[in-house]
Amino acid sequence: EDKVVQSPLSLVVHEGDTVTLNCSYEVTNFRSLLWYKQEKKAPTFLFMLTSSGIEKKSGRLSSILDKKELFSILNITATQTGDSAVYLCAEGSGGSNYKLTFGKGTLLTVNP
Amino acid sequence: GAGVSQSPSNKVTEKGKDVELRCDPISGHTALYWYRQSLGQGLEFLIYFQGNSAPDKSGLPSDRFSAERTGGSVSTLTIQRTQQEDSAVYLCASIPAGAQIPYEQYFGPGTRLTVT
């Protein structure tokens, strides 16, 4: 059974710190790896990664995938209190092109 | 424009009662998902609708759960004879026609279900 493991489960930092969130996966027929930010209830899409070694970047957030070692990282530089959220990693694989398997998430708290 | 809406936002019910959760996707979105998120867990796939194709119900945890999508738009998730372990946030997401699935999911705000 496919499995997505995120670490750490929770993290508390101060504004201005840089954080790295980890996501490892065990899959067959890998298709894509996605990152979401979940504030309150509704997740919002951050990145989709399909190729190894190509960094995706959006402002202070960036992400990269290593398909050989089966992991991805999400970096947030110069953190702000508005970055406080649960960050979810999900992978799409297998016979369907629409199913995602989600990790449990990393709860990030950024203190002023 | 209007996003995905879900109702009710919160629902408290007694064990054994039936509940119905509603999802109104963005107009024109052809694909729709239901997920369940229990406390401290990631999103668990429940069911997927795509156009007029037969839905993928493989994620429904038991036969007490059912879902339908009428007219390719509004969807309802029904849980019969609710149990305490059904307590969770139920999220709906829709995808526009022609979008790269499963990439462009637009999530609703969810329904928090509490079974007492």
Do A100 and B102 lie within an 8 Å CB cutoff?
yes
User: Average pLDDT over chain A, rounded to whole?
Assistant: 90
**Best interface-test mutation with B: which of A5, A9, A34, A100 has the largest number of B CBs within 10 A?**
A100
Q: What is the mean pLDDT of residues B52-71?
A: 92
pLDDT higher than threshold 60 for residue B28: yes
HSE of B66, CA atoms in CB hemisphere, 13 A: 6
Using CA atoms, how far apart are residues B42 and B15, in angstroms rounded to an integer?
Answer: 24
Q: What is the pLDDT of residue A94?
A: 62
Q: What is the pLDDT of residue A6?
A: 96
> CB of B25 within 8 Å of any CB in chain A?
no
A40 to chain B: which residues are within 8 Å by CB?
Answer: 109
- Element containing residue A26 per DSSP (H, E): strand A19-26
Pairing of strands B10-13, A30-38: unpaired
Confidence of residue B96 (pLDDT cuts 50, 70, 90): confident
A103 to chain B: which residues are within 8 Å by CB?
Answer: 42
Confidence of residue A78 (pLDDT cuts 50, 70, 90): very high
Confidence of residue A75 (pLDDT cuts 50, 70, 90): very high
Q: What is the pLDDT of residues B31-51, one digit of tens each?
A: 999 999 998 888 999 999 988
Do B45 and A44 lie within an 8 Å CB cutoff?
no
Q: What is the pLDDT of residue B115?
A: 97
Q: What is the pLDDT of residues A17-42, one digit of tens each?
A: 999 999 999 877 788 899 999 998 78
> CB of A32 within 8 Å of any CB in chain B?
yes
A92 to chain B: which residues are within 8 Å by CB?
Answer: 102
Percentage of chain B beyond pLDDT 70 is: 97
Q: What is the pLDDT of residue B105?
A: 85
Confidence of residue B68 (pLDDT cuts 50, 70, 90): very high
Do B104 and A45 lie within an 8 Å CB cutoff?
yes
Pairing of strands B106-107, B88-96: antiparallel
CB proximity list for B110: less than 8 A, separation 6 or greater? A41, A42, B6, B9, B37, B89, B90, B91, B92
* B44 strand-pairing partners: B36
What Rg value do the Cα atoms of chain A yield, rounded? 14
pLDDT higher than threshold 90 for residue B30: no
Q: What is the mean pLDDT of residues A100-108?
A: 93
Using CA atoms, how far apart are residues A109 and A100, in angstroms rounded to an integer?
Answer: 26
Confidence of residue A1 (pLDDT cuts 50, 70, 90): low
Do B107 and A88 lie within an 8 Å CB cutoff?
no
Do A101 and B45 lie within an 8 Å CB cutoff?
yes
